[in-house]
Amino acid sequence: MAGSRTHSLYHRRSDRASSLPQGSARWHTTAARTWTRPPVRNPDDHALRDLTALSRVLFDTPDEGEILRLAMDHIAAAGPYSAEAGYLMVDGDLVPSPRNGQTHASAAGHRVRDLAGRDGPVTVPGRPWGRALGLRGLEGLHGYLVVTSRSRPTEAERSLLATLVRHTAAALSVAFAHHRRREDALELHRLRDERTALQRQLISVVAELGYQRAVHALMADVAASSGGEEAITRALHRLTGLPALVEDRFGRLRSWTGPGRPDPYPEPDPVRQDDMLHAVARQAGPVRVKDRLIALVRPHGEILGVLAVVDARDEADEHTELALEHAAASLAPELTHLRDLAEVELRLHRELVDDLLAGTDEASAYARSEAVGHDLHRSHYIVVVQWPNRTADDSFAQTVGRAASAVGMRSLLTRRSDHVVLVADDRPHARTLYEALARETGTRSGTIGVSAPCDSLDDIPHGYEEAQRAMEVRRHSRERYGTTFFDELGLYRILGPGNDYRELETFVQEWLGQLIDYDSRHHTAMVETLSRYFDCGGNYDETAESLAIHRSTLRYRLQRIRDISGNDLADVEDRLNLQVATRVWKIVLGGPG
């Protein structure tokens, strides 16, 4: 505590102290009393009275730095003296007074430290007499006064100076004693506060340990009973008094215990769900998201689900967070087990579908389909799903499988490098699966192709080709996103895998060769312009808008197409052949989409 005064002693000014006279007739004391020196005949009496008045002020001053300042300011009251420097002992070190002069302070400081607590002479140029006088009390050295005189002091003047030094030292002793008492009182108050805080902390620790034991015991009972997700939400609700719930990582409800369950449960937004998961994953422990306190279930870093309590009144405390963390840890093995089962089932499905698409014997296929709970004896449709913004990995395959189940499709599933394949036992609705996947992925930029019915297992490989052809036709049409059925393709059924590629290439070269060569040489887009013109039904405004060009530019290009190809767009036969050629060029030969 004493160390807090180290360099601030000289900056504290006592409101009770005021300047004492140095040859003036009037000065003010700390109580604002005005004292007028009466006329005296003996100068020694005058000096003694000034020192007596100074002594009273010194003893009334509680600040050590102020005491030293007063003594230095009024050193002349004892004789022909000047105070060259002053020092206070603070934490075992002599700290110079801010009133020390610059001229001789450094030399005086070295001399004072060399004296090591003793009095001794000090040499100051121009001053025939100088002394460093220790300010001592019962507790030891309080500081130093370095005093010089313009003449050698008389015995009486030496006596007065010694008196001033003794009074200054005594006043410092009193001030230091007051400080120690105050510091002791503050330390005692601090210790009492610390004891109270420790007692409260001990009570809190005991309560915390009791709550932790209750949480551990309840979660151990849940684990021992293999109660699953509902048992965990019931236990969490009992511990916290708040509604508890489990969602899968996509935001769909799996279990709810407690009041206030929404009915129907809100459909999750995939983009917002992903943003929320990433935000929570970046923080440690449960995180508040609106009216919920959320903990992620993520063994080994993989997010399998979300455990939460609904805390609309913001009542959750550290006990709630502790219970939520332990419940999430108990839920992790359960969700891991379910995930492993789903992966095994998905792998079995995938292996069966891969064999069906490649062609396999019926006996093996029927036996394996029965093992996974699917009836292959019915007619099936092959469904191919591609979403450009989603890689066809296990995660997307699970998304497709979940969407198919949500719309009532019974199917087997596998995946390829850029699409997912379903073998469904019924014809899908034209829009239901697409809309479900748009909700799941958060984007409508997807394409689905559906085959004609496959009445036997031998039809499935060919049905896979049909589904791919339907998807490709859709991708290269004006409306690239949505669902296309092979049996509704009409003319486009001949434009795809399984047809004579060389004949198709010859047909395209016959009708579009000159335009293709022209585009290649001049880096133009005549074939694409013609294709868009047919896609838009010959409508100039729609074609120009789709190509992002002006209507007059479109007219110029169409005239150039007539000139280069020698074909008449107004002729029915030319028009039909050119339109079919652009379709073959785009769908089969891989022209720009």
pLDDT tens digits, one per residue of 306-330: 999 999 988 888 888 888 888 888 8
| Range with lowest mean pLDDT among 134-143, 499-508, 530-539, 545-554 | 499-508
Q: What tens digit of pLDDT does each residue of 188-209 get?
A: 888 888 877 876 766 555 555 5
Q: What tens digit of pLDDT does each residue of 449-492 get?
A: 999 999 999 999 999 999 998 898 888 777 889 999 988 876 66
Quick count: other Cβ atoms within 10 Å of Cβ 536? 17
DSSP-based three-state secondary structure for 381: strand
Residue 561 has pLDDT above 90, yes or no: yes
Q: Tell me the average pLDDT across 341-365.
A: 82
Residue 515 has pLDDT above 90, yes or no: yes
* Chain-centroid distance, C-alpha 267: 26
Residue of 121, 9, 126 lying closest to 62 (CA atoms): 9
The pLDDT score that the predictor gives to residue 298 is 86
Average per-residue pLDDT in the chain?
A: 82
Residue of 291, 308, 303, 293 lying closest to 253 (CA atoms): 308
DSSP 451: P
CA distances from 559 to 37, 358, 543, 566 (A): 122, 49, 15, 10
In terms of pLDDT, which residue wins out, 412 or 221? 412
The pLDDT score that the predictor gives to residue 446 is 93
C-alpha–C-alpha distance, residues 298 and 559, integer Å: 64
Question: Residue 235 in contact with residue 255, Cβ under 8 Å?
Answer: no
Q: Tell me the average pLDDT across 398-405.
A: 90
Q: Tell me the average pLDDT across 216-243.
A: 75
**CA Rg value for the chain:** 49
| Range with lowest mean pLDDT among 31-45, 305-319, 372-386, 572-586 | 31-45
CA distances from 217 to 132, 206, 235, 326, 335 (A): 77, 17, 11, 11, 21
DSSP-based three-state secondary structure for 498: coil
Residues linked to residue 246 through DSSP beta bridges, in sequence order: 255, 307
Q: Which residue has the tokens 């995660």?
A: 395
Taking the CA atoms of 104, 106, 109 and 113 in sequence, report the sign of the dihedral they define. Answer: negative
Pairing relationship of beta strands 482-485 and 447-450 according to DSSP bridges: parallel
Report for 256-260, 300-304, 569-573: range of highest mean pLDDT = 256-260
The pLDDT score that the predictor gives to residue 224 is 57
Strand order across the beta sheet in which 253-257 lies: 253-257, 244-248, 305-310, 292-297, 287-289
The pLDDT score that the predictor gives to residue 499 is 53
Q: What tens digit of pLDDT does each residue of 7-36 get?
A: 444 444 333 333 344 433 333 333 333 334
Residue of 33, 143, 17 lying closest to 70 (CA atoms): 17
Q: What tens digit of pLDDT does each residue of 235-294 get?
A: 888 888 899 999 988 888 989 999 999 988 988 888 888 889 988 888 888 999 999 999
Structure tokens at 81: 């003296």
Residue of 40, 51, 86 lying closest to 65 (CA atoms): 86
Residues linked to residue 256 through DSSP beta bridges, in sequence order: 245
DSSP 127: B
Residue of 286, 358, 366, 367 lying closest to 325 (CA atoms): 286
- Cis check: omega of the bond before 264, within 30 degrees of 0: yes
Q: Which residue has the tokens 């949500």?
A: 406
Q: What tens digit of pLDDT does each residue of 73-131 get?
A: 889 888 899 898 999 988 888 888 887 766 666 777 888 888 888 999 998 888 899 99
In the chain, what are the domains? Answer: 2-183 (3.30.450.40), 226-336 (3.30.450.30), 359-494 (3.30.70.270), 501-587 (1.10.10.2840)
Q: Tell me the average pLDDT across 145-168.
A: 91
Taking the CA atoms of 577, 581, 583 and 587 in sequence, report the sign of the dihedral they define. Answer: positive
How wide is the angle at C-alpha 471 spanned by C-alphas 467 and 476, nearest 5°? Answer: 150
Q: Which residue has the tokens 């290269």?
A: 476
DSSP 280: H
Residue 541 has pLDDT above 90, yes or no: yes
The pLDDT score that the predictor gives to residue 319 is 82
Q: Identify the helix (H) or strand (E) that includes residue 76.
A: none
Residue of 434, 439, 432, 443 lying closest to 389 (CA atoms): 443
Q: Which long-range contacts (CB under 8 A, 24 or more apart) does 15-19 make?
A: 16/60, 16/61, 16/62, 17/57, 17/60, 17/61, 17/63, 17/66, 17/70, 18/57, 19/73
216 CB-near residues (< 8 Å, 6+ apart): 326
* Chain-centroid distance, C-alpha 483: 41
C-alpha–C-alpha distance, residues 369 and 358, integer Å: 16
